[in-house]
Amino acid sequence: MRLFAVGVVAFLSFSTLALAGGAPAPRMPPPDAQQPQGIPQATVSPVAEQEAFVMPSGNIGCIYTPAGGTPTYQPADGGPELACDIIAPRYVRATLGRAGAATINREVGDPSCCSAGPVLDYGVTWSGGPFSCISERTGLSCRREDGHAFVLSRANISAN
C-alpha cells in the first residue's frame, strides 16, 4: 500500500510539472496594435510611497506620507503628512498634516522610531510635498509652506 501511495504522489507531481512547463505562453497583441474603438484602456496609477529619514544621532526619525496616503496607511486628513519621533529625553511624536497647526503627541501608542537610514546629515535640508526639515546638531526643525512648524531636540520640543 505504501508503495502504491508513493507511486501516485510521484505521478501527480510529474504530471503537474509537465503541464506547467509545457504550457505555451499566452498570446499578447503586438506592441503596435491599436485598441479597438469603444473599449476603454485601463490606466495604472503609480503607488505612492512613504519616505523616511533619521538624524545622525539616531534619536530622531521621520516618515513623510504623500497626499492620498499609501495602500497601507492613509492620513486622517488625506495627507500629505510628516510625522517625526524623538526617543530621548522622552518619546514624543510631532506631526504636520495637510492644514492646521503642528501637533505634539506625548502619549505615543505605537513607538517605532528609528530606522537605520537614510541619514539626514547635519546641515542638510530635506523636502517633500509642502514640508521641509533642516537637520542640525542641536535638533530637527520642520515646517510646512504656510509657516506651521515643529522643533524636536533634547532641549526643546515645540509646535505651532
Position 152 scores a pLDDT of: 98
Q: What mean pLDDT do residues 88-99 have?
A: 97
Q: What mean pLDDT do residues 61-90 have?
A: 95
pLDDT band, residue 114 (cuts 50/70/90): confident
- Measure the CA–CA gap between 151 and 140, rounded to whole angstroms: 6
Does residue 156 have a pLDDT over 90?
Answer: yes
How is residue 5 annotated by DSSP? H
Q: What mean pLDDT do residues 83-106 have?
A: 97
Position 71 scores a pLDDT of: 93
How is residue 119 annotated by DSSP? B
Q: What mean pLDDT do residues 113-120 have?
A: 90
Give the range with max mean pLDDT: 7-16, 31-40, 124-133: 124-133
Secondary structure (3-state) at 20: helix
CA distances from 17 to 8, 12, 23, 74, 118 (A): 14, 9, 10, 43, 44
Residue 37: all three cell numbers together: 474603438
In this structure, how many other beta carbons lie within 10 angstroms of the beta carbon of residue 142? 26
Does residue 110 have a pLDDT over 80?
Answer: yes
Q: How far is CA 143 from the centre of its chain?
A: 20
Better pLDDT: 68 or 45 = 68
